[in-house]
Amino acid sequence: EAQVTQNPRYLITVTGKKLTVTCSQNMNHEYMSWYRQDPGLGLRQIYYSMNVEVTDKGDVPEGYKVSRKEKRNFPLILESPSPNQTSLYFCASSPQGRNTEAFFGQGTRLTVV
């Protein structure tokens, strides 16, 4: 089954404790991205990757890092989480980038206390 898998689905952590949210896709898509979803603000892109070893900032990259060492994986790293990063996070992949449909993961609900 074609899918985008995120882990964990839920995470509660404390301020400053580094964490990683994993994302994996099995569709051989070149383009992957991370979004955060906040009430009233919709989906905002954090980072995206056009291909292996190619990443770029989205609209809200501050406080986040990503890496793309393999085509299928695109982890999101919070080096020092803060409460304003409490949000619902989605990973997405698409075959050709920004002008094609994106397939989304199920989401990761992160709470930073």
Name the nearest CA neighbour of 72 among 91, 56, 90.
91
Q: Return the number of the residue (85 or 108) whose C-beta is nearest other proteins.
A: 108
Candidates 1, 69, 99, 113; binder of other proteins (CB under 8 A) is 99
Binding to other proteins (CB under 8 A) within 55-84 occurs at: 56, 58-59
Candidates 33, 55, 85, 87; binder of other proteins (CB under 8 A) is 33
| Burial label, 27 (beta-carbon count in 10 A; 0-12, 13-18, 19+) | middle
Dist CA 72 CA 37 (whole Å): 23
Q: Return the number of the residue (4 or 21) whose C-beta is nearest other proteins.
A: 4
Name the nearest CA neighbour of 13 among 74, 80, 70.
80
Residue 76 neighbours by CB distance under 10 Å: 23
Instruction: Say whether residue 30 binds other proteins (CB under 8 A).
Output: no
Instruction: Say whether residue 48 binds other proteins (CB under 8 A).
Output: yes
- By DSSP bridging, strand 31-38 and strand 10-13 are unpaired
Instruction: Say whether residue 87 binds other proteins (CB under 8 A).
Output: no
Interface residues with other proteins (CB under 8 A) are 4, 33, 35, 40-45, 48, 56, 58-59, 90, 92, 98-99, 101-107
